[in-house]
Structure formats: structure tokens, C-alpha cells
Amino acid sequence: MALMTSTNITHAPAGSNRPRAFTLIELVVVIFIMAIMASIAIPRYASATNRYRVDAAVQQILADINMTAAVANRASTSRTISFDADSDLYTLDGQASPADPASDWVIELGLEPFSVNLARVSFGADERLPISGHGLLTESGELTVTAGRTARRLIFTQGSTSVTIEDQTLTEPTDNNTVTVVSTSGTQTANVGGAAAAMSMSP
């Protein structure tokens, strides 16, 4: 006859296998850490976006100067680019707009994809950059492009085929001609007019 043995079986309390929920203190700590990370990341992202916008606008301006110089050189006639700092735009005088051939070509820097501020535009006594029939700048001058606290100052020299670009940091964002520079981090040069203009129109 087989012997019967008894086994004590202990049952776990109901619900003990469910994952443990976060406590209120743990949630607060997580939220606090996320807030710190966001406070670091968001300004950096905004700064990077501003640099991208300013650099894109500067490249657009230089490309249009070279295109205008090439047109002037081929036609052996002077051309002008008219800047308007109050409206954050410039006009390629005498060059038909692709959207409206009956009107001059207008580039609005204050709108997407640039959304930048045009400031401190000065070429002689006005905001017009004249280009000779040889594709060379006939006046010295400068302009500044800003977005947030990021700025690029473009310095043009009469008869020169290069422009100096200063990388600047502003004390505060601006949407007008008032630009207060806190530091200049470096300079670079870019070709404008002359051979650079001819290359921009090469097939």
C-alpha cells in the first residue's frame, strides 16, 4: 500500500506578479531630469537653426551677386542690386522674375526658407550695389544678416573679386537695423564678380 505524503503549497498573494508602478517621487525625478535636458537641448537647437538660416541667406546673396555680375559682363552693361533693410529683401534690377517675367526679381529674406533680418546695408550713399559691365563691384559697402543672436557681416570692396564675411554674435536678437555685437569669432572670404561670376553662368 502506497504511503501518502502531504505537501504544503503556499499561494502568493493575488496580484503580486504584476509589475511595480512608479512612485510619485520617481515620476517627479524623471520629469525634473527631462526638464534639465530640454533646457540644454532647445537653445542649442535654436542656435543651430539660426546659423543654418543665416548661412543659407548669405550664400543666396553671394550667388545672386555673381549671377548679376555675369549678366552684366555678358551684356557689357552695368547692373544694380537694390537692398531694402526695412523689408528684409533685395531686388535684382532689370532681371525678370521667374514667377512674373513682367516684374524684377525680388528675393525676400524675411520669409521661408531664410526668415532672417537684413541690417546695416550701406553702399555709398544708399542701399544699392552697382556692378560694372565687366562684372566688378563699383562701390564699397557692407550688409549684415541676422537670425536670433547669430550674425554674418559681409564687407565688399570696390573693384575686388572677394568679399570678407565676419562671424558675429549679438547681445540680443534684432529685427531692425540696430545690431549690437558682443563678439566676432572669425572671418572668411568668398569670391564675387570677375571670374567667379563667369563660372556661375558657365554651362
Q: pLDDT tens digits for 47-90? A: 899 999 999 999 999 999 999 999 999 999 999 999 999 999 99
Dig out the grid coordinates for 98 from the structure: 521667374
Among 107, 147, 100, 144, residue whose Cα is nearest residue 122: 144
What CATH topology corresponds to 60-200? minor pseudopilin epsh fold (3.55.40)
The predicted pLDDT at position 201 comes to 45
Among the ranges 3-12, 160-169, 193-202, which has the highest mean pLDDT value?
A: 160-169
Residue 91 is inside which H or E element, if any?
strand 89-96
Dig out the grid coordinates for 82 from the structure: 537694390
Maximum alpha-carbon separation in the chain:
122
Dig out the grid coordinates for 171 from the structure: 547681445
The pLDDT of 135-148, averaged and rounded, is: 96
Parallel, antiparallel or unpaired: strands 150-156 and 162-170: antiparallel
The predicted pLDDT at position 202 comes to 45
* Residue spans per domain, the chain: 60-200
Q: Over the range 18-28, which residues count as b (16 or more CB within 10 Å of their CB) and which as e?
A: eeeeeeeeeee
The predicted pLDDT at position 18 comes to 64
Query: What mean pLDDT is reported for the chain?
Result: 86
Among 17-21, 31-35, 149-153, 156-160, where is mean pLDDT lowest? 17-21
Alpha carbon distance 29, 11 (integer Å): 36
pLDDT tens-place string over residues 159-197: 988 999 999 999 999 988 889 999 999 999 999 886 555
